[in-house]
Structure 1
Amino acid sequence: MEVIAHPDERMLRITPTADPPGLRLKGELDATRHREVIEALSPMAAEGGDVRLDLGGLRFIDLGALRLLTCLVERCGNGVRLVLDNLSPQMENLIQTVSWERLPGLVQGRKETS
């Protein structure tokens, strides 16, 4: 049986967070949404320091989006760290498989307990 997600569930929603400063991503992050994510993240990353990404609401993320995040960190280079909160077990496995957890500036953050 195939389950097809409702169109609203596939859309990516990007919500700024204040405490801590960052973004909450919900929905699906694929190649059609890379530009939106980079436009939302770039100003925060340009300031340096930690930028938190709450990824707990993502149902899907493509490999290109993970690469996009690592490239942003490398490009900024001003002490910016992307702290990835609420990673799903699948995303943790993907990051470990491609060894991106070793890159400076890409950090596994906290997990909310519900």
Structure 2
Amino acid sequence: MAFADAARRTRPADDRRSRHEAPTAREFRTREGRAGGRRDAPRPERAQPDAVEPAPPRRVAVDLLVLTAELRVVRTYAPHGLRITGVVDPGARRHLCAALDSIAEVDDDVLLDLSGLEFLDLGGLRLIAGFARDRADRRHVELAGLLPHLRHVISLIGWDDTPGLRLGVAGAH
């Protein structure tokens, strides 16, 4: 309060701020002014729902087949196939094999989206090539988003001629 008195003495009487500050200060000094202020007003109670409403149905169903610390495999339906993200190393090969088995009976071409793949070892590549070879009599397996160095390895080994295997659009890595 002493500071406010000192400030009033140093300001000229016709100062614009003092004309506006004085009524505001009086308003908030009174109990009614504090209770009527926006911050101090009690909040209206929110109505609580009686039951939780279900979420609206999604347009696209996500079928998560594999989720480990380093590998995620999601089944896709348009087109049929898998979206493989992460790392396929010796520890993850069994998961990749199980995911490939889940789409083995599809009677259409299969697309393996490898655009999110960070690493694929030779054993994982051998699984994919074997999967394509086993389906060659029915349909193709297309590798989309293939990393350029993996495309190069497939060509060096000669697996780009594997029956049933098509190398699709390369990834941007």
Q: 2:143 is matched with which residue: 78, 84, 98? A: 84
Q: How big is the shift at 1:79?
A: 1.4
TM-score by length of 2: 0.55
Q: How big is the shift at 1:104?
A: 1.1
Q: 2:124 aligned with 1:65, yes or no?
A: yes
Gap runs ≥5 in structure 1 = 1-9
Q: 1:51 is matched with which residue: 99, 102, 110? A: 110
Write the deviation string for residues 5-57 of structure 1: whole angstroms up to 9, x where unpaired: xxxxx701111122211111111011111111121122322223311110011
Distance 1:99 1:49 in 2: 25
Larger Rg: 2
Partner of residue 169, structure 2: 110
Q: 2:72 aligned with 1:21, yes or no?
A: no
Distance 1:77 1:101 in 2: 13
**Structure 1 residues 13 and 31 mapped into 2: Cα distance closer, same or farther (>3 Å)?**
same
Distance 2:153 2:86 in 1: 18
TM-score by length of 1: 0.80
Larger relative contact order (Cα-Cα within 8 Å, sequence gap ≥ 6): 1
Gap runs ≥5 in structure 2 = 1-68
Partner of residue 6, structure 1: none
Distance 2:96 2:104 in 1: 12
RMSD: 1.9
- Across the two proteins, how many residue pairs are aligned to each other? 104
Percent identity reads: 35
Distance 2:169 2:91 in 1: 28
Q: 2:90 aligned with 1:31, yes or no?
A: yes
Distance 1:104 1:13 in 2: 27
Runs of 4+ in structure 1 off by over 3 angstroms are 75-78
Q: What amino acid does structure 2 have at the position aligned with 1:42?
A: D
Q: How big is the shift at 1:81?
A: 1.8
